[in-house]
Structure 1
Amino acid sequence: MEIQATPWLKVSENQRFLVKEDGTPFFWLGDTAWELFHRLDRENAELYLKTRADQRFTVIQAVALAEFEGLTVPNAYGRKPLLQNGSGQYDPTLPDVSTEGYDYWDHVDYIVDKAASLGLYIALLPTWGDKFNLAWGKGPVIFNVENAKIYGRWLGERYKDRPNIIWVLGGDRPLTTALHFAVIRGMAEGLKEGDSGRHLITFHPMGGYSSSYHVHDESWLDFNMIQSGHGDLNKDNYNLIGMDYYKTPLKPTLDGEPCYEDHPIGFKPERGYFDAADVRKTAYWAVFAGALGHTYGHHCIWSFNQERSPYFIMQWKDAAQRPGANQMQFVRALMESRPFLERVPDQNLIAENYEGANHLQATRGKNYAFIYTPDGLNIKVNMGKISGETVRAYWYDPRTGGFQFIGTYENKGILTFVPPTSGRENDWVLVLDDESMNYPVPGKQY
């Protein structure tokens, strides 16, 4: 059965964004739900998906062979994804698709289809990286070149008629040997053989890296993904995005795993936790640097945590309504309120920038511009970078999606704009529009 609630996706003609099959823009607003298939039953999976759909997310990132002992610990219905072969090893060529009962893959199907009915895409990792590179984690390593291709072909065939699938290879592990590269290439080839190349493919790298570091030139890679990660406050993900943006051949990119809300900073609870201000900052920095969209994450959502501890500080149902999760929709609303596919990063709009936590990031189209200030510091703008003799100026509030009209200005010289408030938790976006375009207020569909 072909699910029709979500159209097929492709790369835009300018190689910078993703678009729907009719050419209209698609904004990736993702959430990391790595253990979704493995840990949630149907009722809770539906609750989670409906919550994220209501919050205007568009992509859910989940793993078939999950990190938390996804081969050996069964799902909510007592089923495992793979059978064991004659040597007692879990075998990717032997998916457990029993004709009796509700098997593991029936559950994956249910969640994928429920997501489609809600307008959500599943960025589906065939496996977490510890199953081919046990750099850390529990594994076990089960993949070689041959079985990776067979498994990829089987997955591709199973989901070939579901438009709401985006394949994500990798899984938070580096490619450090020739075998690792060959396994990933084999899996990609299998996926393409199985689904006839109908779905896009990307690669989820380890923290601090982009897929472009390992596989940018691979023909199967449709767009890049970075993981700016959880190691430091104020991680300059805009530089990682910028490096991808100017690589050739041109391929779109995004931050697919930035700092998670309520994640211990540097993986150490004693250092405190990333908060809503941190996750907003990474979102606007990345998107304004040229990303095709952005992924949010919460530390207790990806794991679907049930027990409080210093490392996982709340239950997942409470985490689903955290401030950062509810505020991500305002990134999407702003980007969709102006012409999308012409947008470029342009730091030349900024006459005077700041370092570190106060870094300003700018993007523009032909007749509009956005400049993000993380802490509400003044913005000095080189005018004349967009069309129009006069511009309308607004402040857009990333915390509420609201706006304040500033005034109308001549589009020349250097102008200084002073945000309504300043300090941590007081981030703002300066919006400049060519007055003659008569755009709606920021955050409203044009």
Structure 2
Amino acid sequence: MIDVVSRCWRYLLLVMLILMPLSVHAEGTKFPLRVAENRRYLEDATGKPFLITGEAAWSLIGDLSREDADKYLADRQRRGFNTILVSLIEHRFSRNAPRNFYKRAPFMVEGDFTKPNESYFNDADWILNRARERGFLVLLVPSYLGSGGGPEGWFREVQAAGPEAMRTYGRYLGERFRKYPNIVWVQGGDYDTPDKSLVDELARGISDIDPSALQTVHRGPDTLGSMEWAGVPWFKLDTLYAYDDIIDRALQRASTGPEIPFFFIEGPYENERGSDEQSLRLNAYGTILSGACGQIFGNNPLWHFAGPGLYDVAGTWEDALASRGSQSITHLKRLFDPLPWWELEPERGRLLAKRGQSSKGNALGALTREGTLAVLYLSGQRSVAIDTNALTKSVGLARWYDPASGNYMDEPEAGAIGQQGIVTFEVPRSANSGGFEDWVLVLTKRG
């Protein structure tokens, strides 16, 4: 009897140890999220600011088995990601599209949004539940429309179904998935429908059942969601999607956009469009320092897993889990987590001194309104001149952060910040630990 009890206790302890990391992570964010009072960022149910640190995992539900989906989620959880962008139904970019890994179709009749296949959505349930348990925000796309309204997405089926059927589909989704407080619905998908009611009715159908659900849109490249949907009742979170002039667009949105948070939902992905880890970091750090409440990183092949993609790439999605781009996002999260990032505002000429700045590269900065913290990202510049008059006298510590390794340099620079006027800081080395020319400078109070 004693042996039986002992074995039971050992088994219980083992289960607790297995679940402990999961539980601790899940307790970090209390869903649902909401728009903060100042309408610049998201916060959880306790008021804790939430920095969207995400990845495009478009084909997660459509392509992977339950076991592989959980393998992916476990890896991203360990690396500090807290958000995934996912298609609920996949039209092209999965091995069995539109069927899932188990060859179950999303609808009982092909393309009929009013006849959902419960077995398919049970599989989706399993993955969404694991994402919730692991503490992820899920940006869930109910019917990705596809670039140009073409065969990559569901636009043709949506158009054939009509607004009334899309309202019915929306109500079905609202009823079925309202139990997941970690979902933000993302309407559209790489295309603006000529008939806006097709998207609007789907969104309204979800709101009919779950009026508190946050919703946003994914439009075509070089757009803001608010350019098309500002003022619509369900549209409560803005998006920036761009491949060019990304930082300028973010700064412009922060200055002139509607008073709702926005985040960088898509740009060049790793292993696509000639990107490298420095250009990916420029977009990630740059949009956050320009006023975005987070950003979504993308990797080829991770966005489509084992399904077909748009660009050739060597290796498997499992190989890509530890990519340099992925590591860079982990390091970004590590930098911002202990800082009051939600208080940062684009510096707009207050901090960066115009004289002495290089005409090459980028120097981007943000600081708190009180001037007690500043963060600057340098890409391709070896020095930066700042006007210390924008900072309080209590700011006396400058530290260089290597975004390629996630480490601060050993010796902080101190003392020089106390000077009033223009102070120039030189990067520690011409290249960081990854061999690239980008650095982060953090200016804080002493102690």
Shorter-chain-normalised TM-score: which range? 0.7 to 0.9
Specify the alignment match of 1:39 in structure 2.
63
Higher mean C-alpha deviation, range 323-332 or range 385-394: 385-394
TM (norm. structure 1) is: 0.86
Cα distance in 2 for residues equivalent to 1:51 and 1:158? 27
SS at the partner of 2:178? Answer: coil
Cα distance in 1 for residues equivalent to 2:310 and 2:249? 32
Cα distance in 1 for residues equivalent to 2:225 and 2:347? 24
Q: Does 1:208 align with 2:232?
A: no
Distance 1:116 1:224, change over 3 A: same
Higher mean C-alpha deviation, range 68-77 or range 398-407: 68-77
Distance 1:307 1:129, change over 3 A: closer
SS at the partner of 1:347? Answer: coil
Specify the alignment match of 2:437 in structure 1.
426
- 8 Å contact 2:62–2:97 — kept in the other structure? no
Cα distance in 2 for residues equivalent to 1:347 and 1:50? 39
- 8 Å contact 1:261–1:279 — kept in the other structure? yes
Q: Does 1:218 align with 2:232?
A: yes
Specify the alignment match of 1:399 in structure 2.
404
Cα distance in 1 for residues equivalent to 2:260 and 2:68? 36
From 107, 110, 132, the equivalent of 1:116 is 132
Deviation at 1:248, TM superposition (A): 4.8
Cα distance in 1 for residues equivalent to 2:402 and 2:310? 33
Distance 1:372 1:248, change over 3 A: closer
> Letter of the aligned partner of 1:24 in structure 2?
K
Q: Map 1:19-98 onto structure 2 (within 5 A).
A: 19-68=43-92, 73-84=98-109, 89-97=110-118
SS at the partner of 1:433? Answer: strand
- 8 Å contact 2:59–2:93 — kept in the other structure? no
> Letter of the aligned partner of 1:304 in structure 2?
F
- 8 Å contact 1:390–1:410 — kept in the other structure? yes
Q: Does 1:362 align with 2:375?
A: no
Query: Who wins on radius of gyration, i.e. which is larger?
Result: 2
Distance 1:12 1:307, change over 3 A: closer
Specify the alignment match of 1:7 in structure 2.
31
Cα distance in 2 for residues equivalent to 1:309 and 1:21? 39
Distance 1:94 1:307, change over 3 A: closer
Higher mean C-alpha deviation, range 281-290 or range 326-335: 326-335
Cα distance in 1 for residues equivalent to 2:187 and 2:299? 21
- 8 Å contact 1:9–1:199 — kept in the other structure? no
Specify the alignment match of 1:258 in structure 2.
267
Cα distance in 1 for residues equivalent to 2:307 and 2:62? 14
Deviation at 1:54, TM superposition (A): 0.6
Distance 1:21 1:245, change over 3 A: same
Cα distance in 2 for residues equivalent to 1:23 and 1:138? 37
SS at the partner of 1:255? Answer: strand
Structure 2: gaps spanning 5 or more residues:
1-22
Residue-by-residue CA offset, 1:357-411 (whole Å, 9 max, x unaligned): x121111113100111012421010112122255211101111121121122215
- 8 Å contact 1:151–1:190 — kept in the other structure? yes
Cα distance in 1 for residues equivalent to 2:153 and 2:271? 24
Cα distance in 1 for residues equivalent to 2:157 and 2:62? 18
SS at the partner of 2:139? Answer: strand
Identity among equivalent positions (%) equals 26
Cα distance in 2 for residues equivalent to 1:48 and 1:289? 30
Cα distance in 2 for residues equivalent to 1:377 and 1:251? 36
> Letter of the aligned partner of 2:342 in structure 1?
L
Residue-by-residue CA offset, 1:232-279 (whole Å, 9 max, x unaligned): xxx33112212221235311111111211111x2xxxxxxx3121221
Q: Does 1:410 align with 2:425?
A: no
Deviation at 1:199, TM superposition (A): 2.1
Specify the alignment match of 2:40 in structure 1.
16
Cα distance in 2 for residues equivalent to 1:215 and 1:377? 41
Specify the alignment match of 2:180 in structure 1.
162
Cα distance in 2 for residues equivalent to 1:147 and 1:82? 13
- 8 Å contact 2:397–2:414 — kept in the other structure? yes
Q: Does 1:377 align with 2:382?
A: yes
- 8 Å contact 1:212–1:244 — kept in the other structure? no
- 8 Å contact 2:90–2:97 — kept in the other structure? no
> Letter of the aligned partner of 2:353 in structure 1?
A
Q: Does 1:286 align with 2:287?
A: yes
Distance 1:158 1:354, change over 3 A: farther
Cα distance in 2 for residues equivalent to 1:56 and 1:397? 17
From 204, 228, 237, the equivalent of 2:246 is 237
Specify the alignment match of 1:174 in structure 2.
192
Cα distance in 2 for residues equivalent to 1:414 and 1:151? 59
- 8 Å contact 2:247–2:290 — kept in the other structure? yes
Q: Map 1:292-311 onto structure 2 (within 5 A).
A: 292-305=293-306, 311=312
> Letter of the aligned partner of 1:110 in structure 2?
W
Cα distance in 2 for residues equivalent to 1:148 and 1:372? 44
> Letter of the aligned partner of 2:445 in structure 1?
D
- 8 Å contact 1:305–1:312 — kept in the other structure? no
SS at the partner of 1:92? Answer: coil
Residue-by-residue CA offset, 1:97-128 (whole Å, 9 max, x unaligned): 1xxxxx21011100011011111121100011
Distance 1:159 1:300, change over 3 A: same
Cα distance in 1 for residues equivalent to 2:137 and 2:153? 29
TM (norm. structure 2) is: 0.85
Specify the alignment match of 1:270 in structure 2.
none
Structure with more of its chain in helix, by fraction: 2
Distance 1:8 1:320, change over 3 A: same
Cα distance in 2 for residues equivalent to 1:389 and 1:73? 59
